[in-house]
């Protein structure tokens, strides 16, 4: 099929997925489209390779993953340029993304043995004659379905942890950023040439569906709640476990004792980095009455200085062209319902770019407040106090991340947010912290990547007991006597009956 290219929109030509820049239509990559049978064969090859990979043990995998980490670090400019060309992201933002990904590869490689390796677990009184051990064994083959907005950081957040745990990985990159996904796999193969441990399959949504039904042992997905439900339904057919990160509508709360300059700086970064195309981006702000006007002024001043355009601008194009219509609808709806644009507005939408837009006094039932916008827009609403701010922040079905600025009560407020993560006096910082788990609740999905919890997501817990002595209180045998049962009852009463 031959089609007229809308810059940034993937098309299929002669069995190949053609990826182009959303800024100028320049071709970024041309990858073969996988059929359902191709996907199944890729998983079969990965399963055979996974046996070899698991057999390397933690030490062998660590050494190879650290070699990949070093390659990523050495070639960071090359990868950043590809991310820029294919997705439109400014090179500086791409470098920050890759730096965070490198940190995660390093941490997963160095900590997999400690977190997942065999360890002794204390026995309990009734089974004191047994020793207990726990270890985490790899699933086998993990399918990773990646997003386009962070095509390096997000897939690596699953793939590196799955690989460190001993799994083979089949990556289905977003059709908007397939060249970046292929680059990651190709560079891994440079340092692990022996077996196809980390491979890709390319195509549109049907290829992702095929991966879910291909016999993989687990699927890690990042994308919209609607697609997450489809992934979960497809995996349910074979009871394949899933890990879902399904977006958010994160809120920032600005309390009366906040450092307003720091809050405004973090807000502008958290809301507008990557043109607002960030699942944990700040899309809503609730500022308490005493500081509302001053805070809005500081945000507008900082956001108004940002440049928009290709190459060295602060904000690049909208990567997925159809998202421009969503952003336009949210802005128009907010203004029609009585909201005010104190920066930007309807005229800010100039495809493929959207200029920073700050909206105030937006009704809580508007699309701009309730739906994920995924653009460089921000609503800031006035609240009486932090309690009202928490109530409004928690009113949506999303629950990914959040931010709180303040002093005396900030941590307590952060704990009250219905979210998987929160930053205090910063924004988005939990994502780069490789020691912390990343994930959400509600419509933001479930399961965790990153940190110790992220490693455990990619290993099956295996519990092992071993007899080490004769039973003094025989219970798990038909050879027990009435006297044994009487002693057991007496022991339990002594131990726990008080």
β 340-343/282-288 pair status? unpaired
Helices 153-164 and 57-74 sit at what angle, rounded to 10 degrees? 160
Cβ–Cβ < 8 Å for 461, 474: no
* Kind and range of the H or E run holding 258: none
218-222/141-145 β-pairing: parallel
470 alpha-carbon distance from chain centroid: 49
Cα angle vertex 438, ends 392, 418, to 5°?
20
Structural contact between residues 208 and 89, judged by C-beta atoms closer than 8 angstroms: no
Which two three-digit tokens encode residue 353?
């770019």
Q: Where are the beta strands (DSSP E) in 409-458?
A: 423-424, 445-446
Under 8 Å between Cβ of 162 and 142: yes
Helices (H), 314-444: 323-336, 367-370, 386-393, 410-416, 429-432
Q: What angle do CA 387, 389, 394 make, to 5 degrees?
A: 100
Bond from prior residue into 352 cis (ω within 30 degrees of 0): yes
Q: Output the DSSP codes for 7-52.
A: TT--EEETTEEEEE-TTT--EEEEEEBPPHHHHHHHHHHHHHHHHH
Give the separation between CA 425 and CA 149, rounded to whole angstroms: 25
Cα–Cα distance between 76 and 56 in angstroms, integer? 28
Rounded Cα–Cα distance for residues 198 and 268 (Å): 37
Per annotation, catalytic residue among 245, 283, 452, 457: 245
Write the Ramachandran bin of 263: left for phi over 0, alpha for psi from -120 to 50, otherwise beta: alpha
Nearest to 252 by CA among 393, 45, 142, 92: 393
- Given the residues 279, 283, 372, 457, the one annotated as active site: 279
Q: Is 279 a catalytic residue?
A: yes
Nearest partner of 142 among 172, 112, 185, judged by Cα: 172
Tell me the pairing of strands 130-138 and 119-121.
antiparallel
CA proximity to 419, closest of 229, 241, 252, 275 = 252
Any residues with CB less than 8 A from the CB of 21 and at least 6 apart, and which?
A: 7, 8, 27, 28, 85, 86, 88
Active-site residue list: 245, 279
């Amino acid at each position: 099929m031959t089609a007229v290219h809308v810059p940034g929109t993937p098309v299929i030509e002669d069995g190949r997925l053609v990826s182009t820049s959303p800024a100028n239509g320049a071709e970024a990559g041309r990858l073969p489209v996988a059929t359902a049978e191709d996907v199944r064969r890729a998983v079969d090859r990965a399963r055979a390779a996974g046996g070899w990979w698991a057999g390397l043990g933690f030490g062998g995998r660590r050494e190879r993953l650290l070699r990949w980490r070093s390659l990523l670090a050495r070639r960071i400019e090359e990868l950043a340029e590809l991310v820029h060309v294919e997705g439109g992201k400014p090179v500086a933002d791409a470098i920050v993304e890759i730096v965070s990904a490198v940190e995660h590869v390093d941490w997963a490689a160095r900590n997999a043995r400690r977190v997942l390796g065999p360890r002794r677990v204390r026995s309990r009184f009734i089974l004191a004659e047994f020793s207990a051990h726990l270890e985490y064994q790899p699933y086998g083959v993990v399918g990773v379905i990646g997003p386009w907005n962070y095509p390096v950081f997000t897939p690596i957040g699953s793939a590196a942890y799955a690989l460190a745990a001993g799994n083979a990985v089949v990556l289905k990159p977003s059709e908007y950023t397939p060249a970046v996904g292929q680059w990651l796999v190709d560079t891994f193969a440079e340092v692990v040439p022996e077996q196809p441990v980390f491979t890709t399959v390319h195509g549109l949504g049907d290829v992702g569906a095929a991966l879910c039904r291909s016999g993989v042992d687990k699927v890690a997905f990042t994308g919209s709640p609607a697609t997450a439900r489809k992934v979960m339904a497809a995996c349910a057919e074979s009871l394949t476990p899933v890990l879902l990160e399904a977006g958010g509508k994160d809120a920032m709360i600005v309390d009366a004792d906040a450092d307003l300059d720091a809050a405004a700086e973090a807000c502008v970064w958290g809301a507008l980095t990557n043109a607002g195309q960030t699942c944990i981006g700040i899309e809503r702000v609730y500022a308490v009455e005493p500081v509302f006007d001053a805070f809005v002024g500081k945000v507008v001043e900082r956001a108004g200085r940002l440049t928009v355009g290709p190459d060295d601008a602060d904000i690049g194009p909208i990567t997925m062209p159809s998202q421009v219509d969503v952003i336009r609808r949210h802005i128009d709806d907010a203004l029609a319902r009585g909201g005010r644009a104190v920066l930007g507005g309807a005229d800010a939408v100039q495809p493929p770019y959207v200029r920073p837009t700050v909206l105030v006094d937006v009704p809580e039932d508007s699309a701009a407040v309730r739906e994920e916008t995924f653009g460089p827009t921000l609503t800031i609403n006035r609240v009486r106090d932090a309690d009202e701010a928490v109530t409004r922040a928690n009113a949506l079905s999303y629950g990914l991340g959040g931010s709180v600025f303040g002093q005396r009560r900030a941590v307590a407020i952060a704990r009250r947010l219905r979210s998987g993560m929160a930053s205090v006096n910063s924004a988005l910082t939990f994502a780069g912290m490789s020691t912390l788990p990343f994930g959400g609740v509600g419509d933001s999905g479930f399961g965790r990547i990153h940190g110790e919890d992220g490693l455990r997501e990619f290993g099956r817990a295996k519990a092992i007991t071993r007899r080490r002595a004769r039973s003094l209180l025989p219970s798990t045998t038909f050879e027990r006597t009435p006297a044994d049962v009487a002693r057991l009852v007496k022991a339990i009463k002594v131990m726990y009956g008080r």
